[in-house]
């Protein structure tokens, strides 16, 4: 019954309010999970690993995202302390986004996922094709 995540180190003892387990809805870890369970978060945070980036750069780098959603995502990431927004020039408005320490630690984990997707994307394609083919014949 135990999740491979033994998060009961010191948190469970004192907090007492929630279990701290991601499987419980309405606890902080769950909120965190839902925040990072976004395709855009999975792209934006790792993109910032190489250094600060500006709005337009992120917009170009992150294929498929719209300006609106980029803004929303960045604001949410900033709100949760993962990204730091810095205004560096007011003349032709220069804004930079960079990872916080917290953001860096998360980004490391996300990079692993990105790599997994790049490595196994083809395998998923193949599996889908197989599944759909056999589902077709079954119908």
Partner DNA sequence: CGGGATCCTTAGCGATACTG
Partner DNA sequence: CAGTATCGCTAAGGATCCCG
Q: Which residues bind DNA (CB under 7 A)?
A: 18-22, 38, 54-57, 64-69, 71-72, 74-75, 85, 92-95, 97
Two tokens at 57? 């750069």
Q: How far is the CB of 71 from its own copies (least distance, A)?
A: 15
Residue 46 binds which entry of DNA, its own copies, none, with Cβ cut-offs from 5 to 8 Å by kind?
A: its own copies
Helix (H) / strand (E) containing 94: strand 94-99
Q: Is 98 a residue that touches its own copies (CB under 8 A)? A: no
- The distance of Cα 85 from the centroid of its chain, to the nearest Å, equals 17
d(CA 49, CA 46): 5
Least separation in angstroms between residue 67's CB and its own copies is 14
- 107: tokens are 């980004």
Give the one entry of DNA, its own copies, none that residue 68 binds, where binding means its C-beta sits below a cut-off of 5 to 8 angstroms depending on kind. Answer: DNA
- Identify the H or E element spanning 84: strand 83-89
Interface residue with its own copies among 56, 88, 93, 132 (CB under 8 A) is 132
């Amino acid at each position: 019954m135990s999740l491979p995540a033994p998060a009961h180190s010191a948190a469970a003892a004192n907090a007492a309010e929630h279990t701290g387990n991601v499987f419980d809805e309405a606890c902080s870890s769950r909120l965190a999970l839902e925040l990072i369970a976004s395709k855009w978060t999975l792209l934006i945070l790792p993109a910032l690993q190489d250094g600060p980036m500006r709005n337009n750069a992120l917009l170009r780098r992150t294929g498929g995202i719209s300006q609106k959603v980029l803004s929303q995502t960045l604001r949410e990431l900033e709100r949760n302390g993962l990204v730091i927004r810095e205004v560096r020039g007011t003349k032709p408005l220069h804004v930079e986004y960079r990872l916080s320490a917290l953001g860096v630690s998360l980004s490391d984990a996300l990079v692993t996922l990105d790599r997994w997707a790049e490595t196994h994307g083809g395998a998923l394609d193949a599996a889908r094709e197989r599944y759909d083919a056999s589902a077709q014949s079954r119908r």
